Amino acid sequence: MAKTQTATSPGSNNNSIEPATAATGGSNKKFLIAAAIVVAGIGAMVLAGMPDKTKPSQAPDSVQARPGPAPMTRGGLSSSESRFDFGSISMAAGKVSHRFFLANRGEAPIMIKKLYTSCMCTTAEFVKGIRRFGPFGMPGHGDIASVNQSFVPGERGYVEVVFDPAAHGPAGVGPIERVVTIESDAQAPLQLAFSAYVTP
Ligand SMILES: [Cu+2]
């Protein structure tokens, strides 16, 4: 059996850095100082790259591509999931919809003020009991009426999102991501994201 692996020679000890001795002198010390600077530099870069967990990310672009249910709570308003993936959907098959279930898990009533979407291909309705509010679309496409509905502690409802994969015409194929935003008086806007892969 032929040995394909290149073994390190028994004498080499490349994982440990020998302490500088008086005999080896200056060049070895310079190397250690340089190595220490490199290590410190890497440490600084790692620290700079760490996300600041005290700030909630709000920009739609920063929504992380993290699959699976991720219950999110801000103030009292919580959603069963923060994002949903439709998977592969066809323009020819028409619109698709999904419900994001909401609850007020806080101890104070919440006023749900506005509901809007990130694109004209997407609409969202707020549903509470037998009452439906909306559909609401993208700001700037006509007047976005306010929802202005109270959501008391323990109350449940949902946001029904409808996405039209054909809204952008034939060019609208490929991966998409849209965001639905709920503004309330209790907390930072709650964002619900969805994705899909659009085929003709
Ligand atoms: Cu769109």
Model confidence pLDDT, tens digit, residues 4-57: 444 444 444 444 444 444 444 445 556 555 555 555 554 454 444 444 444 444
In angstroms, what is the span from residue 149 Cα to ligand 1's centroid? Answer: 27
Measured in whole angstroms, the distance separating CA 70 from the mean position of its chain's CA atoms is 10
**For 131-140, what is the mean pLDDT?**
91
Which has more confidence, 174 or 15?
A: 174
Question: Does position 149 have pLDDT exceeding 60, yes or no?
Answer: yes
pTM above 0.85, yes or no: no
pLDDT band at 139 (very low <50, low <70, confident <90, very high): confident
Three-state DSSP state, 174: strand
Which has more confidence, 143 or 21?
A: 143
**For 100-117, what is the mean pLDDT?**
94
What is the pLDDT at residue 194? 98
In angstroms, what is the span from residue 200 Cα to ligand 1's centroid? Answer: 15
In angstroms, what is the span from residue 143 Cα to ligand 1's centroid? Answer: 18
In angstroms, what is the span from residue 123 Cα to ligand 1's centroid? Answer: 10
In angstroms, what is the span from residue 192 Cα to ligand 1's centroid? Answer: 15
**For 172-196, what is the mean pLDDT?**
95
Question: Does position 78 have pLDDT exceeding 70, yes or no?
Answer: yes
In angstroms, what is the span from residue 137 Cα to ligand 1's centroid? Answer: 10
Within 10 angstroms of residue 138's Cβ, the number of other Cβ atoms is 16
Question: Does position 196 have pLDDT exceeding 70, yes or no?
Answer: yes
Domain extent listing, the chain: 75-199
Q: Which two tokens mark 181?
A: 């935003």
In angstroms, what is the span from residue 105 Cα to ligand 1's centroid? Answer: 32
In angstroms, what is the span from residue 157 Cα to ligand 1's centroid? Answer: 25
Question: Does position 94 have pLDDT exceeding 60, yes or no?
Answer: yes
Provide the edge-to-edge strand list for the sheet that holds 96-104.
72-74, 77-79, 96-104, 156-163, 122-128, 131-136
Within 10 angstroms of residue 80's Cβ, the number of other Cβ atoms is 17
Average pLDDT, the chain: 76
Peptide bond into 175 cis (omega under 30): no
> Is the CATH number of domain 75-199 3.30.2230.10?
no
In angstroms, what is the span from residue 41 Cα to ligand 1's centroid? Answer: 43
